[in-house]
Amino acid sequence: MVMRFIGGLLLLALSQFSFAADGLTASVDKNPVLVGEYFTLTIEATGKVGGETPDTQELAKIFNVGPMSTSSRTSIINGSISSSTTWQMQVLARRAGEFTIPAFSVSGMTSEPITLNVIPRDQDDGTQNDVFVKVALQDGPLYVQQAALYTVKLYVGKELLDGQLTAPELADTQFTLLGKQKEEYEIVDGRRYFVVTREYLMQPNKSGQFTIDGPIFNGQVREGYRRLAISAVGESVALDVKPIPENFPGAWLPSELVHLGEEWKPTEDTVTVGTPITRTLTLTATGVTQEQLPEISVPQIDGFRTYPDDSERKQISRDGRIISQMVSSIALLPQKLGTFTLPELKVAWFNTKMGKTQYASVPARSITVIADPNAPKAPTLPEVQKTEPETPQIDTIPQQASLPTTMIQAEKSWQDWLLLVSGYVLWVLTLGWFLFKKPTPASAKVTSSTVTQSDPMVELNAAAKQGDTKRYYQALMSLTSKLGAATLSDWASKQNDASLSHEIANLQATLYSSNNQQVDLSTLHKLVCATLKQHANKGKVNGNSLETLY
């Protein structure tokens, strides 16, 4: 009840005051102004505005308009209440001439338009030599998505305290700052300038006729003991952007020059089976970004396993041009013997200078895969010829006549008896030596075959135990070669075991692919041992034992 009474008294007191008249005014702090020089536009409203703000869309069509700041105040003087709202913004004119700042309306109130005089820089009293901006863009028309280098250089002839340089802007065009700005000093017309250089990568996304407005600089320099405000604006650049041709094949690649090259390791056209080949493709183009370079499609070749590597991309700016490069490496693992032809590779691109489609290519290449001459040859068993047993002709053997035998006993001399006794004594001594000789341990006996020949199964078991994939792969190739297989893949395919073929493919991918492929040596070794035991059992049945492999 008390609060209502106090509120009523306050309303009654406020009703005794009168409000000031409402109105809307607009003003500038400079007139005339220089081209590229910022000035402050102030719009002030007296009275209640209900949260409304002035519409600056028409103003932005003529000038560059900065962000708007708002402030409000209320005062009571001699019983009269006055309230006001003020909007301020920084405005810049890019071109010389006489311009009209349009009228603004807020809450039914309207301001008067302002006539503004913009003076060219060459009519200034020489202060334009203190600071200026230069821009550069490559000559000739651009095509949609073609990359161009837009360079901005700011020259300041006095000690720079602070400043702001805007980025170029254009509708439906992307500007990307390349790296960091460069700061250096240059001598221009005998005067030393502090120079700031920025490079922008520009890519238009729409065809048509455009104008790139130059960047704007606004800052402060030191002159003696004073701080002076300075500003400058770059020249506008006309831009003609052409559309993408309708009949272009493949991914759009506009450029002045495209080159596709390749390198081989080893360089020879004849390789042994199972030896990896590294093929490196390099695609270089000007006037496009590294992301625009298309992936090169390499077809699969029968008789080879293909393991592509991740592509490496990079780009640089040189002599006002963007140069991009992509390097792709592919590992080829020959699996079969014979001669194979790798087809030609082509990349379509559009020559922006000649205005037509061209192709960057590498020619086809033939590779001959031979057996490893150092691999041990498989043992060959002699062929058993089946012949009919010969039956002796008993009836044709002549019967010999029996001859009479006569026993004649010769008389022994003393020399004969001496020789007989000596031989008997020598026989007794030899028998005693053998009886009392210490036995030689069986482990000390080493045959020449165990020294010169190594058991491939022992090497395979050792590699599996150590988890050495490379050693295991070499031992497995040597083992299958002893079994008579031309290549490891041929041996695996003849086993009709999908799991074994899959694990061998994983082993090869682990060694020659960059896709972080992993192989389980324990599982692979179990499959190999099971397959070899099956062969051993078949060999015993057929009379061809493989027990020497275990």
**Three-state SS for 337?**
coil
Average pLDDT over residues 110-129: 74
Looking at per-residue pLDDT, the higher value among 550 and 224 belongs to: 224
**Three-state SS for 33?**
strand
Quote the mean pLDDT of the chain: 78
- Give Cα 533 distance to the centre of its chain: 46
**Three-state SS for 9?**
helix
Among 138, 295, 258, 247, CA closest to 203: 138
Dist. CA 217–CA 230, nearest whole Å: 8
Q: What is the pLDDT of residue 479?
A: 78
Domains of the chain: 17-123 (2.60.40), 127-242 (2.60.40.740), 254-370 (2.60.40), 454-549 (no CATH)
Work out the pLDDT band at 424, boundaries 50, 70, 90: low
Q: What is the pLDDT of residue 427?
A: 64
Q: Are the C-beta atoms of residues 270 and 370 closer than 8 Å to each other?
A: yes
Average pLDDT over residues 115-140: 76
| Three-state SS letters, 98-128 | EEEECCCEECCEECCCEEEEEECHHHCCCHH
Q: What is the pLDDT of residue 348?
A: 93
Q: What is the pLDDT of residue 451?
A: 36
Dist. CA 219–CA 284, nearest whole Å: 42
Average pLDDT over residues 158-177: 89
Dist. CA 337–CA 427, nearest whole Å: 66
Q: What is the pLDDT of residue 15?
A: 41
Residue-wise pLDDT for 462-512, tens only, equals 877 777 877 778 787 777 777 767 677 777 777 777 777 777 777 777 777
Dist. CA 88–CA 65, nearest whole Å: 11
- Tokens encoding 296: 């090169």
Q: What is the pLDDT of residue 11?
A: 44
Q: Are the C-beta atoms of residues 152 and 165 closer than 8 Å to each other?
A: yes
Residue 197 reports pLDDT greater than 90? yes
Dist. CA 131–CA 196, nearest whole Å: 11
DSSP 3-state helix, strand, coil percentages of the chain (rounded to 5)?
Answer: 25, 40, 35
Q: What is the DSSP annotation of 376-393?
A: PPPP-PPPPPP-PPPPP-
**CA atoms within a 13 Å half-sphere pointing along the CA-CB vector of 11:** 6
- Tokens encoding 346: 């082509």
Largest CA distance in the chain: 181
Quick one: what percent of the chain has pLDDT higher than 90?
Answer: 21
Q: What is the pLDDT of residue 540?
A: 53
Q: What is the pLDDT of residue 361?
A: 93
Dist. CA 217–CA 4, nearest whole Å: 59
Cβ atoms within 10 Å, residue 488: 21
Q: Are the C-beta atoms of residues 201 and 149 closer than 8 Å to each other?
A: yes
**Three-state SS for 67?**
coil
Work out the pLDDT band at 61, boundaries 50, 70, 90: confident
Work out the pLDDT band at 381, boundaries 50, 70, 90: very low
pTM over 0.85: no
Q: Are the C-beta atoms of residues 259 and 360 closer than 8 Å to each other?
A: yes
Q: What is the pLDDT of residue 413?
A: 64
Work out the pLDDT band at 394, boundaries 50, 70, 90: very low
Look at 133-137, 179-183, 456-460 and tell me which has the smallest mean pLDDT. Answer: 456-460
In this structure, the chain runs to a length of: 550
Dist. CA 458–CA 464, nearest whole Å: 10
Work out the pLDDT band at 516, boundaries 50, 70, 90: low
| Three-state SS letters, 21-66 | CCEEEEEECCCCEECCCEEEEEEEEECCCCCCCCCCHHHHCCCEEC
Work out the pLDDT band at 433, boundaries 50, 70, 90: low
- List the alpha helices (DSSP H) in 275-413: none
Q: Which residue has the tokens 């913009």?
A: 118
Query: One-letter amino acid identity for 28?
Result: V
Quick one: what percent of the chain has pLDDT higher than 70?
Answer: 75
Residue-wise pLDDT for 260-290, tens only, equals 999 998 888 898 888 888 999 999 999 899 9
| DSSP assignment letter at 394 | G
Work out the pLDDT band at 393, boundaries 50, 70, 90: very low
**Three-state SS for 16?**
coil
Dist. CA 33–CA 101, nearest whole Å: 13
